[in-house]
Structure 1
Amino acid sequence: MANSASIDGYLHFEGYDSLPRDIFDKKKIRAGMRKAGRLVMQKAQMNLALARGEEGYPVNRTGATLESISFKVSRSGFLVRVAPRKTSAMPEFYPTYLHYGVKKGRRPGKLAPGKGKGRKNRRAAGARARLVAERAAGEWRIKPRDNYMADALQDSKTDVQAILSAAFAAALS
C-alpha cells in the first residue's frame, strides 16, 4: 500500500497521442469515457461492499462511502475521474482519513506563554523535531486502508482499454 501521492490510479493508453483533439467526435469520446467511468465506479463499489473490512479495505457500515463513489467526465471529454466525493450525509470527508490514516496524539503547537526560552518564547534546538518524530513513531488512531479505487482500476484495466480504444476508433470515422 502506497501511503503517499502516486499515480497508481492513473491509466494511459497509446495510439492516439499524436492526433489533434479537433478531429475526434466528442460525443462518442464522452460516451466511451462515461462507460469506462461507470465500469470502474461499479467495480470500486463492489470491491468495497464485498470486502467487509477484509483485505485492508474500510468496513462498510452505513453505505455513505459506497454512495459517495462517482465519476465525472471532464469538459473536454478526454478524461474521466472516478473518486469518492463528499456528500451531504458526511459531516467530514472521511475517505481521506481512511486512506492516509490518523496518528494518535496532536501535532506540536505553539508553546504556552513563559514555557519557552528567551524573549520570543522559543523551544530548545531540536525539540520540535523530536516531538514530531515521537508522534510519527507512535500508534495509529485510524490505520491507513488500501486504495480500493486504484485496485478497481487495475482490476478492470483491460476492459477500460478496450472500451476507450473502441470509442476513439469510432470517433475518428
Structure 2
Amino acid sequence: MADTLSMHIEGFDEFDKVDFDKTKVRAGFREAGKIVTGRAQMLLALGKGQEGYPTNRTGALLHAISFRVSRSGFMVRVMPNMPAGAKEYYPAYLHYGVRQGARVTKLAPGQGLGRSNRRARGGRVEALAARKLTGWRIAPRDNYIVDALQDSAQEVKDVLAAALGRALRPK
C-alpha cells in the first residue's frame, strides 16, 4: 500500500513567511481524513468484490480503515490498520496479491518411497514447476483508498483551502 497521492492547494504560494494557527490546520486535515475514510469505506462496502475491490465478508477490513493526522498537523494518512486478532497484515496481500500456489510440503504418510517417505527422484522439481504454473493465488485488488481520494479530491481541496484560510494569522 505504498501508493501515495499528494495534492497542491493554490493561493498560498505568494507568502514568504506564514504564521498559522496549527489547531485550525489540524482540524482541517482531520475533516479531510474523515471525508476520505468515509468514501473508502463506502467504496469497499458497496463494491462487494466488483470493480477489483476486495469482498467485504466480515467487515473487519471495513472497520480497520482509519486516518491519522501527523504530529506537525500538515499531513493526514488514511490506511487500513491491522484488524484485531489478525495474524498478518492482510490489506497488503489484497493490494499486491500472492503469486503461485501452495508451498511444496512433506508428503502425506504412505505417499512417498521407502521407510523415510521420500519423493521420487525429480519429484520436488516437478512439484515446484507445477506450483509456478498456477498463476495468482490471490489476485491483486484495486486500491480503494486512492480511488476514494481521487473521487473526493475537490471536496478535500475545498476543506483544506478553507482551513488554511482560517488558520492564517495577519502580521
**TM-score, normalising length: structure 2:** 0.75
Partners of 1:43 and 1:27 lie apart in 2 by 24
Equivalent residue number for residue 147 of structure 1: 143
The one-letter code sitting in structure 1 at the alignment partner of 2:98 is V
Greater C-alpha radius of gyration: 2
Q: 1:15 pairs with 11, 34, 48, which one?
A: 11
CA RMSD of aligned residues (A): 2.6
| Number of residues of Structure 1 aligned to a counterpart in Structure 2 | 145
Moved beyond 4 Å, runs of 4+ = 17-22
Tell me the residue number matched to 1:83. 79
Aligned identity (percent) is: 55
Superposition deviation, residue 168 in structure 1 = 0.3
Q: CA, structure 1 residues 17+101, in 2 after alignment: closer, same or farther (shift >3 Å)?
A: farther
- Unaligned segments of structure 1, at least 5 residues: 108-130
What does the per-residue CA deviation read over 1:50-77, in whole Å, with 9 as the maximum and x for residues that have no partner?
0111111000001110111000000000
- Does residue 102 of structure 1 match 2:98? yes
* Aligned match of 2:164: 168
2:82 partner letter? K
Matched, 1:43 2:31: no
Structure 2 runs not aligned, ≥5 long: 104-127
Distance in 1 (alpha carbons) for counterparts of 2:160 and 2:140: 32
